[in-house]
Amino acid sequence: MKMVRKLAAALCVSGVLSACGGGDAKDLWVQIGGTPGAISGAGQTTVPPVTTPTVPAPVVEPGFIVTEAQFNQIFPNRASFYTYAGLVDAVKAFPEFAGSGDRPVRLREAAAFLAQVMHESGGLRYVTELNQANWPLYCLASVQYPCAPGKQYYGRGPLQISWNYNYATAGAAFGVDLLNNPDLVETDAATAWKTALWFWMTSVGAGTMTGHAAMVNNAGFGETTRSINGALECGKAAGSDGYLKMQMRVTYYLDIARLLGVDAGGNLTC
C-alpha cells in the first residue's frame, strides 16, 4: 500500500477577512492499492493490477463557518454575554446547521440565521424580553410540561424563546432541564445559543418548513421569516408595521450575506 497525501487549498471569503487560517485547509489522505511495476527481465515489466482508489471523505470545516472576526463585524455592539465561543459550542449540538450542502449554501444559512437573530435580539444587545410586564404570562397549564414553582418562561436568548413547553422541548433536545432551570438561557451563553439553534432547526411556525430546510433547499430567506413570525409579518400591506419589519429582516440578511461574500439568492420576502 502506498499513502498519497493531498493538501486541500485554503478557501477564503474575498474582502471579508484580513487574513485566513484557523483550519480552512485540510489534509486529505487517499490510500492507493497495488504494488509498483518491477523489472523482471530485459524489456519486461510486471504490470500492477488495476485498483479503484478509496474516495476520501468530504472535508468538514471545524467550528462555525463564520469566523470570529466576521461575527464581531456583524454584532459590534452586542452584549458581552453573547460570546462567539458560546455560539461555536452550540453549533456542535446541531452539526447540520450551516453544515449541509456546498459552501455557498452553508454561508447563506449562516447569514439567514444571524439576520433573524439580529432582528429578534436588537443586534444581540438584549438577553431577556424588554417588557417585564409580560414575564409572568408565559406559563401554559400542562400536565406534560408543568411550570416549575417560582420559575418564569419569558423571552430569553438570541431568538427570545418563550413559554414553558418550548423551554422543556428545547432543553430535551440537547440534554438540559430548562423546564426547571429556565434561567440558564440568560446565564450560560452556549445554552442560549442552543435554544436559538433548536428553534431554527425544528420550528415551522406559521410556515411549512424550518429555517434550516428553507435555506438548504433554496426556498429562500422569506420562508425563514414565515417560520419565525409569519403570522404577523408575511403577506401584509405595503407600509404596514408587519411589512416594514419583514423588510428590515431582509435588509439585515443582505448586509450579512454581503459581508460573508455570498450571493443572497431569491425569494427574500414573504
Cite the active site residues: 120
Q: Are 185 and 157 in contact (CB under 8 A)?
A: yes
CA-CA-CA-CA dihedral for 199, 201, 205, 206, to nearest 10: 150
Q: Pick the closest to residue 130 from 175, 106, 160, 153 (CA basis).
A: 160
Tell me the residue type at 1.
M
Give CA–CA dist 95/34, Å, rounded. 37
Counting other chains too, the contacts that 144-151 makes at CB distance below 8 Å and 24 or more residues apart are: 144/168, 145/169, 145/179, 146/179, 147/179, 148/179, 148/180, 148/182, 151/179, 151/180, 151/181, 151/182, 151/183
Q: Beta 27-32 vs 39-41: how paired, if at all?
A: unpaired
Any residues with CB less than 8 A from the CB of 57 and at least 6 apart, and which? none
